[in-house]
Amino acid sequence: MNAPQSTGTQPGPFRFTLESPESWRRVVQVEVAPEHFAAVYGRKLRAARKTHTRPGFRKGKVPLAMVERDLGGEVRWQTVEELVPAAFQAAVLEHGLRPVGEPEVTDLKMDPGDPVRFTLAVEVRPEVTARDYRGLPLTPRDTELPADAVDTALERLRESRAVWEDAGRPAVPGDRLRVDVVPRTEDGAPDEEKAVRDYVLELGGEGVLPEFNAALAAAEPGQTVAVTVTYPDDYASEELRGRTMTFDVTVHAVQRKVLPELDDAFAASLEEGQTLLELRAKLREELAAEQAARIRREQQEEILDRLLERHAIELPPSWVDSYVESTVAELRQRQAYLGREMDAQELETARREARPVAERHLKAMLLLESIREQEGITVEPEELEAAIAAQAARYGFPLPEYRRYLQERHEDERIAHEIADRKTFDFLIENAVPAGDG
């Protein structure tokens, strides 16, 4: 615990004694100057007199001494209620506190003849001084694209534009089959109530049971085959676990996948006038940008890991709780948009999973802010303006209207913070050393 810091010799309406029992908690002993309390009390008493009534007196004409006898206790409490937030604001300014919540008021004393005293306890952002952040070890990463990266991307594009047509032959793995699936009852009769009609499966595809793949190999339209399946004891469906069932599967269609030719016509189908050579160059550029972004994310996460290893930071519990609840609220909103309500167990799981993320984010924020302060890293107005202009152009908005939109919602502050973080990570990465060398 830090030694109490008293500012009682300073003139003013309040005298403070500050204690720091934890890095994230401040306890302020407050003493109200008697003359200040009397001034506020007198003002409130006179205000109360204006509406006070008593037999024999017109409203507002009751002697002040009588008003005090009638309402003194209530007015004293009203006075304290006004002085507590004023004292808190004064303490925040005087001691440079950075509260993360409202203060807790305890130990109120209003003894006759003594100054009014009370205690304010508040959680604050801990004061963090980053150290040993130059020369952080950083794992080297290969920035070259794999040799087959462009070819793989082209194949994905071809797959996405594949068409299905009648195979005109028996089914082979990779074909798409349209089938009816009718389970049999225990006595071997078809269970029409549980039949699945016009079901489409890909032979050999993910999620298709091996027994179906084996039975339907070489199947032709119009053919019905029996498929017997013994489900394992740990099968996902509780109803089917450990059971052996037979299905009658009638094949209605066998289709094969037809990929487009990889030529200039294919490239032009994606963008008018585009050649295959131009498509390959565009894909290489996009893949390189994606890889650079992925490497950057990995580097930032590794930098944060290194920083957090070197700094033990205690966070205000309510600060973490607030971040967690904000995260859960966003998740609930997204789920509600999709038409589903999260139950109590899902919410509790979400809170539990969000907590370590919240702690990491808040600790990282404190460390990055400290590094910026020590290194003089700032965001210049022209940097913020360039970022806003780039976003406006990307989204197709006129710059003045988009800038005003951001300012009204304080989104320009978020963009400035993102720029500051990026510049701080730039600094840390530039000053890092290959892991194993430092």
3-state secondary structure the chain: CCCCEECCCCCCCEEEEEEEEECCEEEEEEEECHHHHHHHHHHHHHHHHCCCCECCECCCCCCHHHHHHHHHHHHHHHHHHHHHHHHHHHHHHHHCCCECCCCEEEEEECCCCCCCEEEEEEEECCCCCCCCCCCCEECCCCCCCCCCHHHHHHHHHHHHCCEEEECCCCCCCCCEEEEEEEEECCCCCECHHHCEEEEEEECCCCCCCHHHHHHHCCCCCCCEEEEEEECCCCCCCCCCCCCEEEEEEEEEEEEEEECCCCCHHHHHHHCCCCCHHHHHHHHHHHHHHHHHHHHHHHHHHHHHHHHHHHCCCCCCHHHHHHHHHHHHHHHHHHHHHCCCCCCHHHHHHHHHHHHHHHHHHHHHHHHHHHHHHHHCCCCCHHHHHHHHHHHHHHHCCCHHHHHHHHHHCCHHHHHHHHHHHHHHHHHHHHCCEECCCC
Tokens standing for residue 71: 């309402």
| For range 289-315, the mean pLDDT | 96
Contact by Cβ (8 Å): 17, 5: yes
What's the pTM? 0.76
| For range 249-256, the mean pLDDT | 97
Give dist(CA 53, CA 75) in Å, integer: 16
| For range 201-219, the mean pLDDT | 94
Would you state the pLDDT for residue 437? 57
Give dist(CA 31, CA 396) in Å, integer: 58
Lowest-confidence pick of 6-15, 41-50, 330-339: 6-15
Would you state the pLDDT for residue 238? 86
| For range 228-251, the mean pLDDT | 91
Residue 11 binned pLDDT confidence (cut-offs 50, 70, 90): low
Give dist(CA 100, CA 92) in Å, integer: 12
Q: In Å, what is the CA distance from 379 to each residue of 372, 376, 421?
A: 10, 10, 10
Backbone angles phi, psi at 148, to 5 degrees: -100, 15
Would you state the pLDDT for residue 8? 45
Would you state the pLDDT for residue 240? 87
Residue 3 binned pLDDT confidence (cut-offs 50, 70, 90): low
Q: Which domains does the chain have, with CATH numbers?
A: 5-123 (3.30.70.1050), 163-258 (3.10.50.40), 273-434 (1.10.3120.10)
Would you state the pLDDT for residue 400? 95
pLDDT in tens, 82-139: 999 999 999 999 999 999 999 999 999 998 889 999 999 999 999 999 999 999 999 9
Mean pLDDT in the chain? 94
Is residue 47 pLDDT above 60, yes or no? yes
Would you state the pLDDT for residue 5? 57
Residue 163 binned pLDDT confidence (cut-offs 50, 70, 90): very high
Is residue 140 pLDDT above 50, yes or no? yes
Length of the chain: 438
Would you state the pLDDT for residue 438? 46
Q: Provide the percentage of residues in the chain whose pLDDT is more than 70.
A: 97
| For range 179-187, the mean pLDDT | 94
pLDDT in tens, 141-157: 999 999 999 999 999 99
